[in-house]
Amino acid sequence: MDDDAPLTVSGLGERVEAISALYARKFGVERDPDWFMLKLAEEVGELTQAFLVATGRTRPRGEVSRAGPATSGGAVVGGGAVVPDGGASPLADEVADVLAHLLLLARSQGVDVDAAVRRKWLAWEAELRDPPAWPGRHAAAPHRRR
């Protein structure tokens, strides 16, 4: 496959499913409904850990020194979660894992992610083009629970 080709949600879901199925066969993993949910929860925990490290709120796993900030390849780890140029980092890797496992969970439960995002989120785009005037607020969409 062309790694530089633009990704679509449904196309990414299909590719992730194929890789997950391969992983399950290779390592004898049973991917039942609980597995999809529990793997997503596991990955969210790993993302939380990576975020805490990236923002300097905890030390990287395995580090016991109090001598100063952790380093990785000469670069200081922590101090901000923003990854320069969106490049490779533990945080970026965990974001990818969470996204992949969220897509796997959705597929396992028959959720059409494209349709759900259009209905739940993209329906608000009309208000971006023509925002209503809300009492006591600037012309912007109201705060609404998603």
Which sequence spans correspond to the domains of the chain?
Answer: 9-111, 114-146
Question: Nearest CA to 48 among 86, 98, 82?
Answer: 98
Indicate the pLDDT class of residue 5, thresholds 50, 70 and 90: confident
Give me the sign of the Cα torsion angle 39, 43, 13, 16. negative
pTM of the predicted structure, to 2 decimals: 0.75
Give me the sign of the Cα torsion angle 52, 3, 111, 39. negative
62: which DSSP letter? T
> Which tokens in the block code for residue 117?
């995002």
Where is pLDDT greater, at 141 or 25?
Answer: 25
pLDDT in tens, 24-68: 999 999 999 999 999 999 999 999 999 999 999 999 988 765 555
Architecture of domain 9-111: Orthogonal Bundle (1.10)
